[in-house]
């Protein structure tokens, strides 16, 4: 008899986006003339930069000729892309990352979901609250938790509440924690970790023998020159951190799929017998056994992001989204709403007015302004009382949505 | 203290291809004038079909315009690709597969490595010997085995020896087995399962409450109209089988990355409490939590394989590789060697002459004919005494290699 992985049964059904869809659908049916604007989406809307498009076309042509055709590529990615990443993402910031420490992949989602496989099944996992659900779900599926409680928190996981009261800065775990997932700039709060705060985390991990799983998928949105883009800008991080990066939000690759993960040679875990084991070697083994890298075409497209033209175009793309974020933030603040984030991140974390619940504010925004946000409660109990908006929409729609909120929302 | 997944330490280092590289390197250094031909590679060499190239270019252009740009796609793949797969791979053979039963992915390697996650950690796993190492390694990493013995067999796994004595047909497991990996047409032996043989496996799985994990990555190479291309051509398979398919060898996608897995709605496992659980629902949850689908561009390229032009071009591609296989088979047989496979598969499984070991024959072929094969022992103990050659080389090199074997190999 074949038995299933019963840990899956613990998972709360991810009702957030289906519930949003249901409410939007119901509203649209009742108000067929309403032109609804989605301002809560986490997906990009601008086309790929021309430098990337050209590189993709050239790579497609290479695949058309026997002399330049590419079959299986190197399992951790092509040297041309890895070298460009090492140079432009790290060396340019004074951080030395070796080619054998960079693993190209199809997405930050895959990597941040798969990384837990190389750790012991009984590792204690800490996550922020609110949180990107993949960190939690992948560990629940692997059996590192008990069932969820009423609020959605799983037994055995350590939650680090991030609220206005602590400036959305995660407190250190009070008890033991082996693996800590940190995502900064943060989805959904838009908060960042300053250099001293990040140094505090590295020091904490070193003192506690923990590993930090640092998701920097949104680093390209950092404006403040004092905010680190990589955890490896912090001394000592190479022993205790793994970093996830992505071309998704940096260069519009959500539908083109390319990302990378950095596992330094010095990062180590232990066996029960007390031996140190290289996490780099474990991840290499994981990836080379279970993955066959990213399409050659896509790797060429990603490398073009680092050409001078690509760099300019990507900066313009991000400026554009950040201008949306500014428009939303200033518009909502003008109505008296409290808005966090949006300064070094594409996400705006809007406090619901007068103690309204996340879903109540969602309904109000939809009903009054025909604007769709994402209820903060969907990201965890500490997200209750917030709504997530993003700068990823079209400019005209973003302006229109803000104008409607200013003029129609009954607070 | 962060502990690692200690099951990784059980893995035998995959020395096969590095050892081949070492020996080839040593020979080339000692014989700098020798022009070595690789006839053991498992990668394709012909460019992508023109229909695919055109579709890729068109999709790249779509990504260049805001109106046609695509961000995150449906997690199990775009409807246009899923519908084409259902029609051309299944309905055309009289097999009804629903759109919600097809999961598009980045590779058969990923899917066949990841599928074990949805089953209980103590499931008993059966594999053929010789075997594609991913089935074994992914289960060792998940803790479903003890350490390997001298011959490389892991304690706790069930091995089904496939040799000339049984016509390379896997015997049913003698003891219990919950999950059985079958790859037909087979890598590395080139053997196929006839319809009665496959029916026997489906009946066995139904009688024993087991699940068959059927890897049909090479089905496009089947010539004999009596050989099933899909396990779902067998009545009753929908309750007990999951099928892996790939565009890699079918259409030259090894460096372009697209595959799919079929999990029928009727396929079920059990909880310890005795409840039936849909494997389709578990796999959907696994994929939507840990994966973000395949690049839109690549999905368009894959769909073009099913256009009338794509179908013709892909058939020509496969005919070409199979003609290589014929040339190798007939050439080697003319020298008195015994050759299996190559009739409904791109793989040729050559018996080493006069009881030579796999590696000894490898050395002889390299030394005498400057031709590189893959020692069968690298695929498992029952591969000892065999060498794998493939039809994936270039035609001129294949002909040249066969001529050298005929004229220079001292048997």
Contact A255 B1 (CB under 8 A): no
Which distant-in-sequence residues (6+ apart) come within 8 Å of B19 by Cβ?
Answer: none
Q: Given 3-state DSSP classes, what are the helix, strand and coil percentages for chain B, each rounded to the nearest 5?
A: 45, 15, 40
- pLDDT for the residue A42: 87
Q: What distance in Å separates residue B403's CA from the closest CA in chain A?
A: 23
Sign of the CA dihedral running A79, A85, A87, A88: positive
Helix A395-408, helix A358-369: angle, nearest 10: 100
Q: Are B349 and B341 in contact (CB under 8 A)?
A: yes
Q: Measured over all CA atoms, what is the biggest interatomic distance in chain B, rounded to whole angstroms? A: 68
Cβ neighbors of B320 (< 8 A, separation 6 or more) are: B46, B395
Q: Does residue B15 surpass a pLDDT of 90?
A: no
CA dihedral over B87, B88, B93, B96, signed as positive or negative: negative
Give the separation between CA B64 and CA A50, rounded to whole angstroms. 7
Task: Dump pLDDT digits (tens) for B209-265.
Answer: 999 999 999 999 999 999 999 999 999 999 999 999 999 999 999 999 999 999 999
**B211 contact A CB<8A:** yes
Quote the Cα angle for A335-A340-A344, to 5°: 125
Q: Does A48 touch chain B (CB under 8 A)?
A: yes
* Whether A289 and B107 lie within 8 Å, measured CB to CB: no
Distances (CA, A) of A147 to A11, A166, B253: 8, 28, 42
Question: pLDDT of chain A along its 411 residues, tens only?
Answer: 899 999 999 998 767 888 999 999 999 999 999 999 999 888 999 999 999 999 999 999 999 999 999 999 999 999 999 999 999 999 999 999 999 999 999 999 999 999 999 999 999 999 999 999 999 999 999 999 999 999 999 999 999 999 999 999 999 999 999 999 999 999 999 999 999 999 999 999 999 999 999 999 999 999 999 999 999 999 999 999 999 999 999 999 999 999 999 999 999 999 999 999 999 999 999 999 999 999 999 999 999 999 999 999 999 999 999 999 999 999 999 999 999 999 999 999 999 999 999 999 999 999 999 999 999 999 999 999 999 999 999 999 999 999 999 999 987
CB contact under 8 A, B277 and A4: yes
pLDDT, one tens digit per residue, over B326-385 is 999 999 999 999 999 999 999 999 999 999 999 999 999 999 999 999 999 999 999 999
Helix (H) or strand (E) holding B243: strand B241-246
User: Is the minimum CB–CB distance between B43 and chain A shorter than 8 Å?
Assistant: yes
Q: What confidence score (pLDDT) does residue A410 get? A: 86
Is A266 in the B-facing interface, judged by CB distances under 8 Å?
Answer: no
pTM (2 decimals)?
Answer: 0.97
Measured CA to CA, the distance from residue A255 to residue B342 in angstroms comes to 39
How do beta strands A179-183 and A339-341 pair? unpaired
Share of chain B above pLDDT 70, in %: 100
What is the mean predicted confidence (pLDDT) over B390-408?
A: 96
CB contact under 8 A, B279 and A48: no
Preceding omega of B185 cis (within 30 degrees of 0): yes
* Nearest CA-CA distance, residue A289 and chain B, Å: 6
**Nearest-Cα residue of chain A relative to residue B205:** A1
Which residue of chain A comes nearest to B255, CA vs CA? A71
CB contact under 8 A, A64 and B48: yes
pLDDT at B14: 67
Closest residue on chain B to A11 (Cα): B285
A-B CB pairs within 8 A amount to: 248
Do the chains contact at A3 and B293, CB–CB below 8 Å?
no
Look at residue A286 in the predicted model and tell me its pLDDT.
97
β-bridge partners, B243? B214, B262
Cβ count within 10 A of residue A273: 7
Length of chain A: 411
Q: How many CB atoms lie within 10 A of CB B231?
A: 28
Angle at A372 between CA A369 and CA A378, to 5 degrees: 135
E strand intervals along A227-334: 241-246, 259-262, 268-270, 276-278
Domains of chain B: 13-42+309-408 (3.90.1150.10), 52-306 (3.40.640.10)
Chain B positions touching A290 (Cβ under 8 A) are 109-110, 113-114, 134, 138
- Whole-number Å distance between alpha carbons of B284 and B289: 8
Cβ atoms of B305 and B51 within 8 Å: the answer is: yes
Q: Does the structure's ipTM exceed the value 0.90?
A: yes
Is any Cβ of chain A less than 8 angstroms from the Cβ of B13? Answer: no
List all residues 6 or more positions away from A335 whose beta carbon is below 8 Å from its beta carbon: A405, A406, A409, A411
Find, among A225, A10, A269, A230, the residue nearest to A123 by Cα: A269
Residues ≥6 apart with Cβ < 8 Å to B306: B84, B85, B87, B88
């Amino acid at each position: 008899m074949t038995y299933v992985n019963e840990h899956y049964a613990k998972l709360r059904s991810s009702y957030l986006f289906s519930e949003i869809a249901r409410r939007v659908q119901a509203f649209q049916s009742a108000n067929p003339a309403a032109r609804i604007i989605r301002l809560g989406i986490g997906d990009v809307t601008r086309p790929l930069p021309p430098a990337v498009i050209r590189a993709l076309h050239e790579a497609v042509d290479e695949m058309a000729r026997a002399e330049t055709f590419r079959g299986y590529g190197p399992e951790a990615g092509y040297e041309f892309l890895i070298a460009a990443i090492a140079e432009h993402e790290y060396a340019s910031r004074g951080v030395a990352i070796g080619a054998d420490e960079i693993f190209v992949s199809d997405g930050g989602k895959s990597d941040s979901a798969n990384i837990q496989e190389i750790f012991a099944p009984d590792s204690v996992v800490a996550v922020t609250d609110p949180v990107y659900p993949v960190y939690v779900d992948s560990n629940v599926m692997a059996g590192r938790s008990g069932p969820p409680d009423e609020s959605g928190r799983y037994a055995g996981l350590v939650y680090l509440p991030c609220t206005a009261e602590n400036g959305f800065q995660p407190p250190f775990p009070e008890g033991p924690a082996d693996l800590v997932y940190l995502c900064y700039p943060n989805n959904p709060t838009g908060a960042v970790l300053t250099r001293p705060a990040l140094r505090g985390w590295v020091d904490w991990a070193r003192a506690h023998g923990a590993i930090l799983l640092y998701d920097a998928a949104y680093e390209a949105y950092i404006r403040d020159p004092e905010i680190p883009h990589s955890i490896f800008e912090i001394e000592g991080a190479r022993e205790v951190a793994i970093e996830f990066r992505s071309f998704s939000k940096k260069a519009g690759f959500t539908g083109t799929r390319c990302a990378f993960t950095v596992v330094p040679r010095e990062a180590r875990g232990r066996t029960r017998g007390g031996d140190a084991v290289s996490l780099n070697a474990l991840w290499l083994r994981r990836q080379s056994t279970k993955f066959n890298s990213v399409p050659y075409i896509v790797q060429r497209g990603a490398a073009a992001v680092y050409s001078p033209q690509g760099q300019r175009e990507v900066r313009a793309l991000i400026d554009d989204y950040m201008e949306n974020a500014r428009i939303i933030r200033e518009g909502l603040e003008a109505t008296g709403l409290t808005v966090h984030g949006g300064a070094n991140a594409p996400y705006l974390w809007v406090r619901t007015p007068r103690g309204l619940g996340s879903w109540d504010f969602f309904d109000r925004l939809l009903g009054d302004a025909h604007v769709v946000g994402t209820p903060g409660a969907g990201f965890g109990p500490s997200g209750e009382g917030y709504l997530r908006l993003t700068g990823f929409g079209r400019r005209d729609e973003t302006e229109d949505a803000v104008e409607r909120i200013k003029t129609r929302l009954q607070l």
